[in-house]
């Protein structure tokens, strides 16, 4: 039996629930050449990632049985509304992720996840068992643990702080820096996101809401302080902060983060870019120049 494929866009998508339903989840990151159909639906002042993602869906919608969004930003909310109207033969869903991080928000998100599981079960006529979800969550945590173990302690650490996605051109540039550990997630801190409780939905809710990279956390002071603490704890050599044009979440958090890093004498570089293939040369030059001038 062919497995169903679901398109995702944000970090708070509960992959464990979808995996327990025997579904494959693909986070849209590819960029298509010479495509601009998204301009018919999205305004010019929305970020280039959302436009590329919508272009991809318009061209390759037959690959997916469904699409899952979160209320992380205006661009994702706009994409949800558009896809809900365009793809009425598919499962198109919006997850309501809390904007604050409190015990009550964990309780609320737990109920959101339960409703999400039930919606999938009803739509696809699938029985999703909690013990299978728990197995998938344990498997994902094991993968995090293995990735932490692969970090080469003899190399210097470079952190890329991106609230939701690392720009495509920056991904290309970073692949050339083999002498550094390029961290695009806060992997060594993943254990802080684990909760000891038999309630699997509560564990998953807590795990995703404790993600320091989340663009849905509006407590900017808490986010920047936790990132700086992580940088100091893990001896980060350089922090790269990409900001995609018209991404309001990245603009606010990134500006505050760079100011905090500067105050603590931590080297950082802020890169304004588009989500495209064409600015890699400029980014490479800036990063190389920054690293060469560092002690």
Q: What gap in Å lies between CA 129 and CA 112, rounded to an integer? A: 17
pLDDT at 270: 84
pLDDT at 51: 87
CATH match of 4-131 with 3.40.50.620: no
In terms of C-beta distances under 8 Å and separation of at least 24 residues, what long-range contacts does 55-64 make, across chains too? 56/28, 56/30, 56/31, 56/32, 57/7, 57/28, 57/83, 57/87, 58/86, 59/32, 59/35, 61/87, 61/90, 63/5, 63/7, 63/26, 64/5, 64/6, 64/7, 64/26, 64/90
Give the residue ranges of DSSP H helices in 8-102: 15-20, 48-60, 74-86
Ranges of residues in the chain whose predicted pLDDT is under 50: none
CATH match of 154-292 with 3.40.50.11900: yes
Q: Is 250 helix (H, G, I), strand (E, B) or coil?
A: helix
- Look up residue 2 and give its DSSP letter: P
Q: What gap in Å lies between CA 165 and CA 162, rounded to an integer? A: 6
pLDDT at 276: 64
Read off the pTM: 0.83
For the record, the structure tokens of 6 come out as 């679901």
The beta strands (E) that lie in the chain are given as 4-8, 23-27, 66-70, 91-95, 156-160, 180-183, 236-244, 268-273
Contact 195, 203 (CB under 8 A): yes
pLDDT at 92: 97
pLDDT at 11: 77
Instruction: Give the domain ranges of the chain.
Output: 4-131, 154-292
Same fold, 4-131 and 154-292: yes
pLDDT at 163: 58
Which residues are CB-neighbours of 79 under 8 A, at least 6 positions away? Answer: 9, 42, 50, 53, 54, 69
pLDDT at 214: 62
Alpha carbon 275 to its chain centroid, in Å, reads: 14
Strands 23-27 and 4-8: parallel
pLDDT at 190: 61
- pLDDT for 68-127, tens place per residue? 999 888 888 999 999 999 999 999 999 999 887 788 999 999 999 999 999 999 999 999
């Amino acid at each position: 039996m062919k497995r169903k494929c679901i398109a995702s866009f944000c970090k708070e998508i509960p992959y464990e629930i979808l995996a327990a339903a025997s579904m494959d989840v693909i986070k849209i990151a590819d960029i298509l050449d010479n495509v601009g159909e998204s301009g018919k639906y999205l305004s010019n002042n929305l970020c280039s990632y959302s436009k590329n993602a919508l272009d991809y869906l318009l061209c390759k919608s037959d690959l997916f049985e469904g699409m899952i969004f979160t209320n992380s930003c205006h661009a994702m909310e706009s994409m949800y509304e558009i896809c809900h109207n365009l793809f009425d033969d598919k499962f198109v869903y919006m997850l309501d992720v809390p904007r604050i991080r409190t015990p009550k928000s964990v309780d609320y998100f737990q109920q959101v996840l339960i409703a999400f599981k039930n919606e999938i079960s009803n739509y696809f006529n699938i029985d999703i068992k909690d013990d299978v979800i728990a197995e998938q969550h344990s498997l994902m945590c094991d993968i995090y643990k293995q990735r932490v173990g692969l970090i080469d302690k003899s190399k210097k650490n470079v952190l890329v702080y991106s609230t939701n996605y690392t720009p495509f051109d920056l991904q290309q540039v970073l692949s050339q820096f083999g002498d550094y550990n390029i961290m695009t997630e806060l992997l060594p801190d993943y254990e802080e996101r684990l909760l000891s409780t038999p309630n699997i939905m509560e564990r998953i809710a807590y795990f995703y809401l404790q993600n320091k990279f989340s663009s849905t956390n509006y407590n900017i002071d808490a986010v920047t302080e936790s990132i700086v603490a992580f940088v100091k704890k893990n001896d980060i050599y350089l922090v790269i902060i990409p900001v995609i044009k018209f991404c309001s979440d990245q603009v606010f958090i990134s500006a505050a983060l760079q100011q905090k890093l500067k105050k603590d004498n931590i080297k950082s570089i802020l890169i304004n870019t588009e989500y495209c293939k064409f600015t890699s040369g400029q980014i490479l030059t800036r990063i190389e120049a920054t690293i060469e001038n560092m002690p």
